[in-house]
Amino acid sequence: MNKPGCRAGRRARKKRRKKHEDAYKVSLSHEAQFVLLRRWLKEKGFTSQSLIPVSFHDTGRGLMTTQAIKAKDSVISLPEKCLLTTETVLKSYMGDYIKRWHPPVSPLLALCSFLIAERHHGDASKWSPYINILPKTYTCPVYFSDDIIDLLPRSLQKKASEQKEQFQELYCCSLMFFRSFQPLFTQPTELLFTQDALRWAWCSVNTRTVYMEHDQSNYLSREKDIYALAPYLDLLNHCPNVQVEAGFNKQTRCYEVKSVQGSKKFQQAFINYGPHDNHRLLLEYGFVASGNPHSVVYVDLGTLKLCLDEKDKQLTQKLLYLRDNDFLRNLTFGMDGPSWRLMTALRLLSLKPEQYCSWKSVLLGAAVSRDREEWCIHSALKLCNNLTDDNVKALERLSQLKQGANLSRLEQLCVVESLRQEEQRILEHTRVVLQNLWGQ
């Protein structure tokens, strides 16, 4: 039986806990830019009041529920008129210029060009209520300086550098196309369609569009047209543990997000971009998900070679077999230890000359001998320690660079720091798993 005052005590604790949670979220719904956005969306047919914009301490801007959402219920339904697509662009003042250009540009570049032009028009733009709430900068690697890219894990450095190179190539190849818009502007297009402007628009499209297939246009390149910028809906943050059903409903002519699990009142509503690890989230969206169940630590070839015996005369042949059988990529450590692919690669690398004839069965998952299995565990532990040391050095350097950094650079450093901290957590778990295996 409850003692007198127990219920009152629980109520007080619950009230204190709610007050503590509320201190970490601040409503943005009364800010002028969001008032204008809601008014603009209402004119286009969006009337829902079940989500309000809020600043959360851990995820930044997001949307909070004002009422409980049941399982299978709609989280948000955005009318087609609110979506910004290539159809919008081709029907706009830029449409004739895009249609006349040969060879046709990609759907991505058409959207980027429109965003740059609309941002230049300021409040005169029909899309200004949406343009004004877009981030002014992003934390995708395309924004990173070389010294920040050098602080990424080795397996991500190459992809980040490739992203910057691909963007640079896009910009250089688009200069003549941008100049074709000169009759639309009083200022020289070189001052409007700058590299910085394209980078902002490129990141806006890549990080904020929802997947929506469109019919192929004769005026655009053959690349799949799958982009739709979705004002307000794109304030939903990603959570890897949330299940949603999202897509364009041809009957209602709305882009809809439905909750699989439901959500409590006054909680942050989330969307799920898919089962992406933190490398992909950082590369494509510019953020890292804390406690991401899909995240792993990658072992690149350079790191793998650190634990190998260079005196092994068959090492070159072993690496060749691994490459030919696609066993030199996606070698990882996870929360439960080394992956099957990593241990399989190590088993083949461990083979003595007299055991080499069994390499095919090893690649199918067969163990070799007790001493070779111990060698694999020891090598995996060495790899784990090397990656841990690399993480520690990177975190120390990140801490130094954060001192005195401007806001934009600080945000970039913090997202890299978050990635390194998440990888450190995985490696700590891996070390425990391997030490337990070593002790058996």
Indicate whether 281 pLDDT > 90.
yes
Query: Which pLDDT does position 311 carry in this prediction?
Result: 74
Q: How confident is the model at residue 3 (pLDDT cuts 50, 70, 90)?
A: very low
Among residues 4, 237, 39, which one has the least CA distance to residue 132?
A: 39
Bigger pLDDT: 364 vs 98: 98
Output the six-digit token pair for 276: 């992406």
Query: Which pLDDT does position 437 carry in this prediction?
Result: 83
Instruction: Note whether 151 and 390 are within 8 A (CB).
Output: no
Indicate whether 228 pLDDT > 60.
yes
The yes-or-no answer to whether 84-229 and 297-439 have a common fold is no
Average pLDDT value for residue range 70-96: 96
**Using CA atoms, how far apart are residues 235 and 48, in angstroms rounded to an integer?**
14
| Correct CATH for 297-439 of 3.30.70, 2.20.230, 2.40.50, 3.90.1420 | 3.90.1420
Alpha-carbon separation of residue 408 from 55, 402, 414, 420 (angstroms): 18, 11, 10, 19
Task: Express each pLDDT in 142-200 by its tens digit.
Answer: 999 999 999 999 999 999 999 999 999 999 999 999 999 999 999 999 999 999 999 99
Q: How confident is the model at residue 366 (pLDDT cuts 50, 70, 90)?
A: confident
Indicate whether 428 pLDDT > 90.
yes
**Using CA atoms, how far apart are residues 106 and 89, in angstroms rounded to an integer?**
12
Q: How confident is the model at residue 130 (pLDDT cuts 50, 70, 90)?
A: very high
Indicate whether 14 pLDDT > 60.
no
Indicate whether 202 pLDDT > 80.
yes
Q: How many CB atoms lie within 10 A of CB 171?
A: 18
Domain extents in the chain? 84-229, 297-439
Instruction: Note whether 258 and 205 are within 8 A (CB).
Output: no
Average predicted confidence (pLDDT) for the chain: 91
Alpha-carbon separation of residue 109 from 114, 177, 227 (angstroms): 9, 10, 11
Q: How confident is the model at residue 318 (pLDDT cuts 50, 70, 90)?
A: confident
Task: Tell me whether residue 58 is exposed, middle or buried, using C-beta atoms within 10 angstroms of its C-beta: 0 to 12, 13 to 18, 19 or more.
Answer: exposed
Task: Express each pLDDT in 330-361 by its tens digit.
Answer: 999 999 999 999 998 999 888 887 777 777 78
Output the six-digit token pair for 155: 């397996």
Q: How many CB atoms lie within 10 A of CB 184?
A: 14
Query: Which pLDDT does position 13 carry in this prediction?
Result: 45
Give percent of the chain with pLDDT exceeding 90. Answer: 76
**Using CA atoms, how far apart are residues 341 and 214, in angstroms rounded to an integer?**
38
Query: Which pLDDT does position 2 carry in this prediction?
Result: 43
Instruction: Give the alpha-carbon dihedral of 53, 55, 59, 60, to 10 degrees.
Output: 100
- Is the pTM value of this prediction over 0.85? yes
Indicate whether 279 pLDDT > 80.
yes
Query: Which pLDDT does position 440 carry in this prediction?
Result: 57
Indicate whether 19 pLDDT > 50.
no
Indicate whether 79 pLDDT > 60.
yes
> Residues near 98 by Cβ (< 8 Å), separated by ≥ 6?
89, 90, 105, 110, 113, 219, 220
Query: Which pLDDT does position 44 carry in this prediction?
Result: 96
Does 3.90.1410.10 match the CATH number of domain 84-229?
Answer: yes
